[in-house]
Structure 1
Amino acid sequence: MTAMLLSLTLALLGVFQARAEVPVQPDFDAAKFSGMWHIMVAVSNCPIFQSMKDLMKTSAAMITVTPEDNLHFKIGYPFPDGCKKIELVFEKTGQLGHYTNSRTSWVAGALHTDYTHYAIVYTFKDSDGKSSTTLQLYSRCWEKGTWPTHCRRKQH
């Protein structure tokens, strides 16, 4: 897990440097990407995220494709005082795999995914003249031990 966190941190630093040129999953398939995902790890320079990161636990996201080929996210964040739920629709852009949310000024995309086990997702947020970047590691299953086992298989 430490290696994965280091990899995500390095990727985050690279994304900060080349924000406009973020490469996403080639031939991204929104239909394959849709479904239940567990948000296993997140790194961010967002002040709101930083202030709440110690309270957050593994979150879950249900992603569906709208008739317009946009991505509809329903995310549940468990906190000590209960689950916080948000819903966001990311509209597709002219660039395959890149999405925006006009209400929040967020930009998002899948940097890499195999659609069945993992996805690395980025979001950029511009709010009140302040920019932030978040990288998240998604997993289709959350059972303890599943993700590290999958990572070891992929490395060989």
Structure 2
Amino acid sequence: MALDRGPLLLLTLGLGLAGAQKSPEDVPVQPGFDARKVEGRWLTVHLAASRAHLVSPADPLRLALHSICTRGRDVELVLFWTGEGVCKGLNITVHPTGLRGQYRGPLEGGGSLLLHFASTDYSHLILYVRLQDAGEATSLWALLARRQPGDPRWRRQYLEFISKFHLQEAPVFNLDAQCPPPE
């Protein structure tokens, strides 16, 4: 059923993230990264994906990162997705890979997620996500901020990353107060 795969597809597109894409090993990892300092509410300021053509402003389904929290050494992404008659919270837990600022975890329904905290001052965050599902990889970069609008210096750094990794800008969605918090 298409709705069952919706959260995975929406995560791929909503973080709302491959042909010319460099490998995940080329993605920088934040030196001295402390996951506890990225806990809390985040707003997506910019988003780019390797398959941005899959993101359509007319698409009735939307997914947005709400917040990040830690559970011991693990990181949990709190997401919301909405659609026609659907408003659901979704939590995705990823586990440390052994490299500081890099996490990996399985996705519901199969596939996996690789997460890099590429750069942060803990009020801005550049996040790299690579989703692997059924042999296809989708990469995305997100510039997140605690408040809108984000700092222009962070936007410049983010644009350097997406240029280097040959990605296309994608529409950004922040779903505030439209869904009940996930359990």
TM-score normalised per structure 1: 0.71
What residue ranges of structure 1 are gaps of 5+ in the alignment?
Answer: 1-11
Q: Distance in 2 between matches of 1:124 and 1:58?
A: 16
| Matched-pair contact (CA < 8 Å) for 2:126–2:142 | yes
Q: Distance in 1 between matches of 2:155 and 2:21?
A: 27
Q: Which residue of 2 aligns with 1:37?
A: 42
Q: Which residue of 2 aligns with 1:8?
A: none
Q: Which residue of 103, 108, 117 corresponds with 2:115?
A: 108
Q: Which residue of 2 aligns with 1:72?
A: 76
| Matched-pair contact (CA < 8 Å) for 2:63–2:80 | no
Change beyond 3 A, Cα 1:137–1:84: farther
Q: Does 1:85 align with 2:89?
A: yes
TM-score normalised per structure 2: 0.62
Higher helix share: 1
Query: Equivalent residues in 2 for 1:1-156 (5 A)?
Result: 16-46=21-51, 50-54=53-57, 55=59, 59-67=64-72, 69-79=73-83, 83-103=87-107, 104-116=111-123, 118-142=124-148, 146-147=149-150, 150-151=151-152
Change beyond 3 A, Cα 1:74–1:58: closer
Q: Distance in 1 between matches of 2:35 and 2:136?
A: 29
Report how far residue 57 of structure 1 moved: 6.8
Letter of the 1:126 partner, please give it. Q
Identity over the aligned pairs, expressed in percent? Answer: 22
Q: Distance in 2 between matches of 1:90 and 1:78?
A: 23
CA RMSD of aligned residues (A): 2.9
Report how far residue 110 of structure 1 moved: 1.1
Letter of the 2:22 partner, please give it. Q
Report how far residue 86 of structure 1 moved: 1.9
Report how far residue 154 of structure 1 moved: 9.2
Change beyond 3 A, Cα 1:152–1:26: closer
Q: Distance in 2 between matches of 1:20 and 1:131?
A: 14
Change beyond 3 A, Cα 1:53–1:81: farther
